[in-house]
Amino acid sequence: MSDTNMQLDRDPAMSRKGRGFGGGDGDRDAKRDGDYERVEDQMAFDSKAAKSVEGWVILVTNIHEEASEEDVQDKFADFGHIRNLHLNLDRRSGYVKGYALLEFESYEDAKKAVDHASGTELLEKVVHADFAFSVPPPGFQDGAAKQKQKQNHDRRRSGSPSSK
């Protein structure tokens, strides 16, 4: 068959779906342009703290090795209801590793605990408290995002050889 007799599949009724067919899906195009909802916009407070799935978690460090859960509970119960408390032990010695994770129901309770308990004594050691999760600064890229950006940069194609 010659090129003039060859019929091409140009049926207008045929639907083309998938990537590369220029469907013009407005929602998908908006997402591609980076128009995402941001969690920071929905936060009603001035903080670098971030909420975990369950609640507001604070990390308390420099806890005495012979401290018990009751000691930590008594120290932080004044600031609000503690939903959960993790005091990890060393497997070999059986003593406390030196830190605890406390989960509060509300941001206000957790903030009070961080502000008032940090720098105070618990069993003759000065403990430090801060939020366990924080919001990254604007423009921050983690290692995975940087790696992906580098891979996309390295995938540029060279020009096709010219036909003579």
> 152 in a domain, yes or no?
no
> 164 in a domain, yes or no?
no
> 30 in a domain, yes or no?
no
> 33 in a domain, yes or no?
no
- Is residue 79 within 8 Å of 112, Cβ to Cβ? yes
Q: What is the pTM of this model?
A: 0.55
> 154 in a domain, yes or no?
no
Amino acid occupying residue 161: P
Query: Could you say which DSSP state residue 49 is in?
Result: B
> 85 in a domain, yes or no?
yes
> 61 in a domain, yes or no?
yes
Please state the domain count of the chain.
1
First-to-last C-alpha distance (Å) of the chain: 26
pLDDT, tens digit (0-9, with 9 covering 90-100), for 15-50: 666 676 665 555 555 555 555 555 444 444 445 777
Give the domain range for residue 93.
45-131
Average model confidence (pLDDT) for the chain?
Answer: 75
CATH of the domain at 67: 3.30.70.330
What phi, psi does 20 have (nearest 5°)? 90, -5
- Is residue 59 within 8 Å of 127, Cβ to Cβ? no
Tell which residue, 96, 50, 103, has the closest CA to residue 73.
Answer: 103
